[in-house]
Chains A and B, each alone.
Chain A
Amino acid sequence: MAERTTPSFLRTEPSPVLPPPVFAGGAVKWVRENMLAGPGSALFTLVGLAFIVWATPGLVRHLILDAVWTSPDGVACRAPGAGACWSFIARKLEFFLYASYPRDMVWRVNLCLAMGAVLAVWLLWPGAARKGLGAALFFIVYPVAALVLLHGSEALGLPKAPTDLWGGIFLSMIVATVGIVFSLPGGVLLALGRRSRLPVVRFFATLFIEFVRGVPFITVLFMANTMLPLFVPASWSPDRLVRPLVGVSLFASAYMAEVVRAGLQAIPRGQTEGAMALGLSYWKMMRLIILPQALTVVIPGIVGIFIGLFKDTTLVAVVGIPDFLRTVETARLDPAWAGPTISTTGYLFAGAFYWVFCFGMSRYSLMMERRLAAGRKR
């Protein structure tokens, strides 16, 4: 067999890959596409850059370089040119956390917050094992334990700490958690009720949702805390803190119901019919087929409500419940700290606190959305 000779004009190796043009890849491409795509975009980029250049030095100076980090009282913060007074936050941190809760009992609050954090991570971590146990602990054992710990129980040797002493960050957490935990099941039930074929159930669910959504939140709180004592004898009226908690839960449930209903309507009829054809009961059909799909669709809406609810908790201050924001407002009035930068520092801290939580919730929901939507992406 004659050996095949390669003609000299044929290449034996592929030609080397040329790099793409500079403007078609890498950072340059990204900048061209995202920041300089057209005259409008270029202008916007320039204005944005100018703003950053203008604002950054002042912010850095106010927040870091000129800021007062350690000082026993407000004197150093009052000095001309002093920036943010972080020592004020450090000194008042205990007050922000616990407000008037007796200081020798704050370990109980800390224990509650720690338990809540551990359980929340357990439930929210996608890969965590034995979620059923975690859920049982979080929804049944934890509320009882937290109540006993925070409120105290003579039988267990824990002195009472009445709710008028509660306040600060831990109270904001309680209000938000109660609202979030109750609003989802409440909202699902109300949404199912509104789509029910039983007229009485449908009527009352609709009535409740529309009534609550038609009334401002502040009115509900004011009604609960100021008017209720007029109508019921003192021994009957629930605790001053329980009333706004119930209000928050009912309020959030009504809004949640409409979001869930949107999800239910987005599920094709075929799903229901298929489930019925399999002979599933109503609740099984909902639990196994409809709700898992419906809730996935409306995750952004649900998280939107949670975020709104978290920020709405500050409204309980209107009826005299000292939540976190109220403690900031109170602390900044302290004559020992009064000064030109105190209010700004306090509000900056409060803003950062709410932002961290709301942004965290938002990112978490995005991650869950991607995970849950993986099956439908192909």
Chain B
Amino acid sequence: MKHLLIAAGLTACLATGASAGVLDNVKQRGFLSCGSNTGLAGFGLPDDKGVWTGLDVEFCRAVAAAIFDDPTKVKFIPLTAKDRFTALQSGEVDVLARNGTWTQSREAELGLNFGGVNYYDGQGFMTRKKNNISSALELNGASVCVQQGTTTELNLSDFFRSNNMKYEGIAFATADEAIKAYDSGRCDAFTTDVSQLYAEKLKLVNPDDTIVLPEVISKEPLAPAVRQGDSQWFNIIRWTHYAMLNAEELGVTRANVDEKVKSPMPEVRRLLGVEGDFGKGMGLTKDWAYRIVKHVGNYGESFERTVGENSKLKIKRGLNNLWSKGGLQYAPPVR
């Protein structure tokens, strides 16, 4: 509640001190200020050389590519879960791409706008293969390791109650302790968000002996957030994601984007700025989407590189597949 009050106060301050648009500020400053995770494998994490990598990080690079034609013009500011929204409200960061869940209260009460969902997450389970379980509905009577004091615990209890199943919840203060307990055999299953499950699984002694069950028991749409009150900036954030999705749908990749410019297909020509001037309305150049694909790639490429098959996490596309392939990722057309 205290957070909300502070945030409400901050919003009021900001509303009175309305200034030039965020895009103008970013252009004038020469770089994008991107609120990132302090460290989350696959989403935002510095590598051995200290270069930020991950799905959320690549999203910020895509925004920078669209504005500056240079994906390196981003300053990543690592934010903890506690101060992330304040940092966005205070203007310390231009966009918050930090695996934040899009919820009604965050939009309505904190005065934020969430752009396109760049990862559909949700709570899932993992269990040992030798238990011969293929669905979370077979977990009746199981002991489940869970991190304390999070919505994860609540979702767990809701799931078992609504399915009339019994379970023994064993709560731990940190995810590290919970996964250790699971590894030592104290519980049959471990639950957290699916994206996390894959990262935590790697910490096991034998990661291959454990499977992630297909059920997803909660909705956690992760999306980049911006402050309310600047529709132009909001459009840029939203359409950066949509451009990456459209590129994937139309088969435009980082490798073939220069050939695709010559493509006769009208949709491709509009997306890449050969026909029409669709960037203008957002304050960008007409080749904005071309820049994104050229420097970062389409959504599928980015996904596979950071969290999918080409990464250590090996998360399946699942809900994050294109709508035409059975997933939820659906982008409005550029026209």
Contact = CB atoms under 8 A, between A and B. Distances in A.
Nearest to A228: B90
B313 interface: yes
B91 A229 contact: yes
B50 A226 contact: no
A181 interface: no
Contacts of B50: 95, 98-101, 103, 165, 167
A368 interface: no
Interface string A272-312: 00000000000000000000000000000000000000000
A343 B176 CA distance: 9
A340 B183 contact: yes
Contact of B49 (A103, A167, A338): A103
Contacts of B10: 230
A335 interface: yes
B230 interface: no
A68 to B, nearest CB: 14
Given A95-B49, A99-B50, A226-B86, A340 B203 contact: yes
B80 A320 contact: yes
Contacts of A369: none
Contacts of B204: 340
Interface in A145-191: 162, 164-165, 167
Interface stretch (B36-44, B102-110, B268-276, B288-296): B36-44
Given A230-B13, A334-B45, A334-B47, A340 B180 contact: yes
A219 to B, nearest CB: 12
Interface stretch (A16-24, A322-330, A349-357): A322-330
B313 A335 contact: yes
A346 to B, nearest CB: 11
A162 B75 CA distance: 9
A336 interface: yes
Contacts of A330: 38-39, 45-46
Contacts of A69: none
B265 interface: no
B29 to A, nearest CB: 8
B312 interface: yes
A358 interface: no
A254 interface: no
A101 to B, nearest CB: 7
Contacts of B45: 330, 333-334
Contacts of A227: 86, 90
Contacts of B78: 320, 322, 326
A99 B49 CA distance: 7
Contact of B77 (A164, A333, A334): A164
A318 B313 CA distance: 27
A140 interface: no
Nearest to B75: A164
A319 B25 CA distance: 23
A contact face: mostly helix, strand, loop, or mixed: helix
Contacts of B48: 91-92, 94-95, 334
Contacts of A98: 50
A222 interface: yes
A134 interface: no
Contact of A333 (B41, B83, B206): B41
B142 to A, nearest CB: 22
Given A320-B38, A339-B203, A229 B75 contact: no
Contacts of B52: 100
A376 to B, nearest CB: 50
Interface in A205-230: 222, 225-227, 229-230
Interface residues of B, number: 43
A342 B180 CA distance: 12
A110 to B, nearest CB: 16
Nearest to A95: B48
Given A165-B50, A226-B92, A230-B10, A333 B40 contact: yes
A188 B307 CA distance: 54
Interface string B1-41: 00000000010011000000000010000000000001111
A320 B79 contact: yes
A165 B74 CA distance: 11
A108 to B, nearest CB: 15
A334 B41 contact: yes
Interface string B79-119: 11001001101111000000000000000000000000000
Contacts of A336: 312
B38 to A, nearest CB: 7
B199 A335 contact: yes
Contacts of B80: 318, 320
Interface in A74-95: 78, 80, 91-92, 94-95
A234 interface: yes
A91 B48 CA distance: 8
B206 to A, nearest CB: 8
A95 B46 CA distance: 9
Contacts of B154: none
A162 B74 CA distance: 12
A165 B52 CA distance: 11
A359 B312 CA distance: 40
A295 to B, nearest CB: 39
Contacts of A343: 176, 203
A94 B46 CA distance: 13
B303 interface: no
Contacts of B68: none
A193 B215 CA distance: 67
Of the candidates B48, B77, B89, the one having the most CB atoms from chain A within 10 angstroms of its own CB is B48
B202 interface: yes
B231 interface: no
16 contacts: A94-B48, A100-B51, A100-B52, A164-B75, A164-B77, A226-B90, A226-B92, A230-B89, A230-B90, A240-B77, A320-B79, A330-B38, A330-B46, A333-B40, A338-B202, A339-B205
Given A335-B312, A336-B312, 10 more contacts: A226-B86, A227-B86, A230-B13, A240-B77, A317-B38, A318-B80, A330-B46, A335-B311, A342-B203, A343-B176
The 8 closest A-B pairs by CB, nearest first: A100-B50, A335-B312, A338-B202, A330-B39, A230-B90, A320-B78, A229-B90, A335-B41
